[in-house]
Amino acid sequence: MNKKIFSGVQPTGNLHLGNYLGAIKNFVELNNQKDNECIFCVVDLHAITVKQDPKELKKNIRETAATFIASGIDPNNSIIFNQSMVSAHSEAAWILSCVSRIGWLNRMTQFKEKAGKDKEKASIGLYSYPVLMAADILLYDATHVPVGNDQKQHLELCRDIAQKFNNDFSSPNFFKVPEPLIQKQFSRIMSLKDGTKKMSKSDPSNLSRINLTDNKDEILNKVKKAKTDPLQMPENIKNLIERPEAENLLSIYSSLKNQNLENSVKEFEGKNFSIFKEKLSDLLIEKIEPISKEIKKLLNDEQYLDAILLEGSNKADKIASKKIIEIKQLVGF
Ligand code: TYM
């Protein structure tokens, strides 16, 4: 079957190894498979659910597009665009927010985490963010959505919204109910400083993550300082229980090397962490440094990046504006 792939990444700076291994690496693989139609969106409307500096935002939109291309997504073979250029996203989000139930949104764990203790001060956009995400996906009749594990709940909500809309407007199959594509292993990369916390753009410690713009020295330094435990490398996979840092570093190694965790454990069983860290740095430098260099090169050519985004937006707009007309007709406008 030919798959319609849609996914998005927020242009909020500090794109990191978690974004790469959990999502972007898979975008590239899907983009390379014949017959897949791929749309990759820089979700700038999502970014403004928390306060952004306008100049930084503009820079980060280009940097996210550059990261897609530098990672291996071919803009001739897929649509790369930014969300705010296609007005149907905002329109569909409003209509879908009238179908969504407050009870559904109240269950979203990411909102609770992001809003923190003072929920009253969070923006309404941050709360209704998953509805906009559903609009993104449903406007393109996407069949498959590659994401990291932290987006699973949002995709389940998207499926509920699609089904409720189809039901409410007696139009079975109007919205395709999309399938999440979440890898079984390595879909949740953890902080280098705390193996129980997700690697995140917003962690104040830069040492907690490998950024996709890091150079060789930065990568070496971060791996050197990455938290481990006092034991030797595990002898078998069961020994990873309650050793979150060892598990995370071995997972990063395995994902980059495209091998399963068992084989990586075997490769280093009983060795010192220092030997493993050396190999991990080598592999990270081999895989990430070329991406980092290419991002920097692309960022010097703003015109090129803007042209890719404009062309992508025009293509996306053709698809989305047709769908929004159909949505409006069903609603009775
Ligand atoms: P965002 O920008 O937070 O993250 C982009 C992608 O990276 C994945 N990811 C991770 N994967 C593994 N380990 C980690 N530590 C890690 N951190 C981030 C995320 O799961 C995601 O796939 N709401 C989305 C963006 C979005 C979207 C969409 C995605 C908007 N509309 C429609 C799919 C379809 C988000 O904030 O991702």
Tens digit of each residue's pLDDT (9 = 90 or more) over 252-267? 999 999 999 999 999 9
Q: For the chain, which domains are there? A: 4-187+302-331 (3.40.50.620), 206-297 (1.10.240.10)
Band (pLDDT 50/70/90 cuts) for residue 178 is very high
* Residue 55 known to be catalytic: no
| Cβ-based neighbour number of residue 46 at 10 Å | 24
Contacts 24+ apart (CB under 8 A), 74-79: 74/31, 75/308, 75/311, 75/312, 77/31, 77/38, 78/31, 78/37, 78/38, 78/39, 78/40, 79/38, 79/39, 79/40, 79/312, 79/315, 79/316
Which string of b and e fits 70-104 if b means at least 16 CB within 10 Å? bbbbebeebbbbbbbbbebbebbbebbbebbeeee
Which tokens sit at 151? 């987006």
Nearest C-alpha neighbor of 76 from the set 307, 301, 295: 307
Q: Would the pLDDT of 1 be above 80?
A: no
Instruction: Output the ligand 1 site: residues, CB below 6 A.
Output: 6-10, 18-19, 22-23, 43, 46, 133, 136-137, 145, 147-148, 150-151, 154, 187-189, 198-199
pLDDT exceeding 90 applies to what percent of the chain?
A: 97
Catalytic residue chosen out of the listed positions 152, 176, 197, 201: 201
Q: What is the pTM of this model?
A: 0.97
Residue 293 CA to ligand 1 centre (angstroms): 23
Cα–Cα distance between 210 and 286 in angstroms, integer? 13
The per-residue pLDDT for range 211-224, each reduced to its tens digit, is 999 999 999 999 99
CB neighbour list of residue 1: distance below 8 Å, 6 or more residues apart = 143
Q: What angle do CA 161, 27, 13 make, to 5 degrees?
A: 85
Catalytic residue chosen out of the listed positions 59, 114, 176, 279: 114
Residue 117 CA to ligand 1 centre (angstroms): 23
* Residue 114 known to be catalytic: yes
The per-residue pLDDT for range 15-37, each reduced to its tens digit, is 999 999 999 999 999 999 989 99
Q: Would the pLDDT of 150 be above 80?
A: yes
Residue 23 CA to ligand 1 centre (angstroms): 7
CB 9 within 8 A of CB 81: no
Which tokens sit at 206? 């830069």
